[in-house]
Amino acid sequence: GAGVSQSPSNKVTEKGKDVELRCDPISGHTALYWYRQSLGQGLEFLIYFQGNSAPDKSGLPSDRFSAERTGGSVSTLTIQRTQQEDSAVYLCASSSRGLNYEQYFGPGTRLTVT
């Protein structure tokens, strides 16, 4: 079946612009995660959605970052007023449950802020 998909695969933006990154999880998966992969910081957890519960935003690095998940499916990660340090690969994952269940990752969106 279809895996986790993300779009765009690459995004180049100018410093100060807003960007939106999209994630389509595996159908039926109730849990959705965003991570960031950068050379300096490795893989970092950003945010977690589980069903209709309030998301865990504890990993978001600043208030310029926000995410939503509509209808319990597609998620959008928004970065406002992008900075050069936001350049990274943004990974989305989904799982059938939240707790210690296998997470399936998408191919990622490579964001470059110039």
Partner 1 sequence: GNSVTQMEGPVTLSEEAFLTINCTYTATGYPSLFWYVQYPGEGLQLLLKATKADDKGSNKGFEATYRKETTSFHLEKGSVQVSDSAVYFCALSSGYALNFGKGTSLLVTP
Name the residues that contact partner 1, by CB under 8 A.
4, 31, 33, 35, 42-43, 45, 48, 50, 56, 59, 91, 93, 98-100, 102-108
Find, among 45, 47, 104, the residue nearest to 76 by Cα: 47
Measured from the CB atom, the residue of 66 and 104 that comes closer to partner 1 is: 104
> Residue 14 Cβ, how far from partner 1 at the closest point, in Å?
27
Which residue's CB is nearer to partner 1, number 45 or number 76? Answer: 45
Assess whether the previous peptide bond of 8 is cis (omega < 30° from 0): yes
- Cα–Cα distance between 90 and 10 in angstroms, integer? 10
Phi, psi of 23 (to 5 degrees): -135, 130
In angstroms, give the least distance from the CB of 57 to partner 1. 11
